[in-house]
Amino acid sequence: MTNDEIRIAIGQHEGLKLVLPPNYLEDLNAVHQLEETLSDAEVQKYIDHLIAVTKADLGYGTNYWSVYHATAPQRCKALLRLWGVWKESR
């Protein structure tokens, strides 16, 4: 997905009626606001997606440092996968 497609998909999921939603890809604070809305069940699934996106699964354990320091684009990708709207680039 392009950056604009990601921003629009997140904005649509959040019900934003703006022409172009906040730039979640460059603003960890905006992404954090989205993370705060997740239910307990969603948080665990989100963490699983975040581990996959950051390639933190080492096969013998998880590199949580990578998860803790996930970038805004990585967090956006994990959220969109959680919500079932992520589209792989062609």
What are the pLDDT digits (tens) for 7-44? 888 888 888 766 667 889 999 999 999 999 999 999 99
Q: What angle do CA 80, 57, 32 make, to 5 degrees?
A: 40
Instruction: State the average pLDDT for the chain.
Output: 89
User: Is 71:60 a contact under the CB 8 Å cutoff?
Assistant: no
Average pLDDT over every residue of 35-56:
94
Q: How far apart are CA 59 and CA 30, in angstroms?
A: 32
The full set of domain ranges for the chain reads: 3-83
Would you tell me how many other CB atoms lie within 10 Å of the CB of residue 39?
A: 9
Tokens representing 43 are 């948080």
| Helical pair 72-83 and 40-53, crossing angle rounded to 10 deg | 120
The more confident residue out of 53 and 62 is 53
